[in-house]
Structure 1
Amino acid sequence: MPRSPLLLLPGLLNTRRVFDPQVEALADVADFTIPELWHHDTMAAMAEAVLASAPPTFALCGFSMGGYVAFEIFRRAPERVERIALIDTQAGPDSAETAARRRGFIEQTRIGRFHGIHPTLLPQLVHPSRVGDESITRPLLDMASEIGGDGFVRQQQAILGRADSRPLLVEIDRPAVVIVGRHDLVTPLPRAQQMAADIANARLVVVEDSGHMTPLEKPAEVSAALRRWLTQ
């Protein structure tokens, strides 16, 4: 079977390592491009940078913040997107409370208080049963350190300035899958259900016993869902 060009878009404070399990599991069906998404401070600039280095057409998969970039890519170049996968993300804007929290993170970072992902934040990111699992939490901490404070600020600014992508959902007429952890506290299940309902023929995959970081928490389930989506 020929391999599909597949763009994997990481989330906030994530490098390509967030997709390591999927790269290993899907190497027989996909050729991967995994861009760095911490060099630009708008979704437009991120999307244009990704498109500039992407194959002519591709399957598109965005995790968390990467989902926001995926929407911007589809908005700009729908003819290049063969199919789309959205993992633990959302189409709507931040609530006022979430936006204020992001601005607070930016201000704290600018005065030199960036410490990556503080361990107290882990219960927000992973299922309670995995807060002590270093095979999952160590990559999260290491990726955040690699991206650093400046990259974090740029990413948060891009997220704050993103468009509301809910009106875009009805325009997505490609094979689509929406994957979400049952216990995702960052982009909760109801938002995934709404996205899947608004995208024509989208398949919803709910990953049990997982928080927000499903590619790392439940790699086999995420890889299986992506394989079905790629080969259907």
Structure 2
Amino acid sequence: MISNPSTPLRWHSFEAPPATETLALIICEAGSLPHARSFAAHWASLVPGCAFAGLETNLAYRQIAFAPVRELVEHETKRLGLDPLQIVLIGFGMAGQRALDLALCNVLGNVSAIIVDLPPDGVVVGLPPAQGAFRFVQHHRDADPDGRFFEELIHTLRRSAIDIRTMILPVGVGATDRAIQTFLVELVARASRYHAVERSGHGVSSRAGDRA
């Protein structure tokens, strides 16, 4: 376990294959680490070559200092020999909002993200020309019964030519798990292609039309 003394951040490494090509980083509230560890164990066999880690943080406050997060994640990803385009953030609820904030504010570079059940009071905090991809799994919620907030947010993101896919689901564990797995396999494969291109020395185009 590695912690940053200036903020309530803790990094936990879960699964790490011998030849790591990508990292799935699960954002979680302090105290919910066992759930994140369980998800990692459940998904690891689907994505060989993908390391899993958990980032514990305080989700009670929307405004946080981004610098300590950047420093901690950069330290750990460099240790794995990875680039931001090889990172997939995963978050549920407020942790999903935190993942979206980190990605859209370009705090960690061009990461991708899987966001499950974004809260209806969330806001888009930045709109960079992101190379990362965003995948949303959303359920019908009492707080946003007609899905208006979610539709408006997705519309805003798409206006910025960000790579987005969504799945709107009824409440149910099985469908949710399958949706997350589908997006995880897709984004890890995308990040692995980047890894292969980097190793070949040809680089990666940043044009929107070249994104997978």
Q: Work out whether the TM-score is over 0.5.
A: yes
Structure 1 contact 84–175 (Cα < 8 Å) conserved? yes
Contact 1:8/1:60 (CA < 8 Å) preserved in 2?
Answer: yes
The aligned counterpart of 1:17 is 35
Q: How many residues align?
A: 155
Any idea what SS the aligned residue of 2:101 has?
helix
Partner SS for 2:118: coil
More helix by share: 1
| Pair 1:185 & 2:185 matched | no
1:30 aligns with 2:50: yes
CA distance in 2, matches of 1:86, 1:31: 19
| CA pair 20-178 structure 1, distance change in 2 beyond 3 A | same
Unmatched runs of 5 consecutive residues or more in structure 2? 1-18, 79-83, 191-212
Compute the displacement of 1:6 (Å): 1.9
Question: Which amino acid in the other structure matches residue 10 of structure 1?
Answer: C
Match of 1:174 in 2: 132
Mapped to 2, the partners of 1:37 and 1:69 lie a distance apart of 9
Residue 61 of structure 2 is aligned to residue 44 of structure 1: no
CA RMSD of aligned residues (A): 3.5
User: Which is richer in strand?
Assistant: 2
Structure of greater relative contact order (alpha carbons < 8 Å, 6+ residues apart):
1
Alignment of 1:1-232 (within 5 A): 3-10=21-28, 14-18=32-36, 20-27=38-45, 28-38=48-58, 41=61, 43-45=63-65, 47-54=66-73, 55-56=77-78, 57=84, 58-74=87-103, 76-78=105-107, 80-90=109-119, 92-93=121-122, 165-166=123-124, 168-169=126-127, 171-181=129-139, 183-185=140-142, 189-199=147-157, 200-210=162-172, 218-232=176-190
Taking the aligned partners of 1:194 and 1:33, their CA distance within structure 2 comes to 31
- Corresponding residue of 1:123: none
Distance 1:70 1:39, change over 3 A: closer
Q: Which runs of 5+ in 1 are unaligned?
A: 94-164
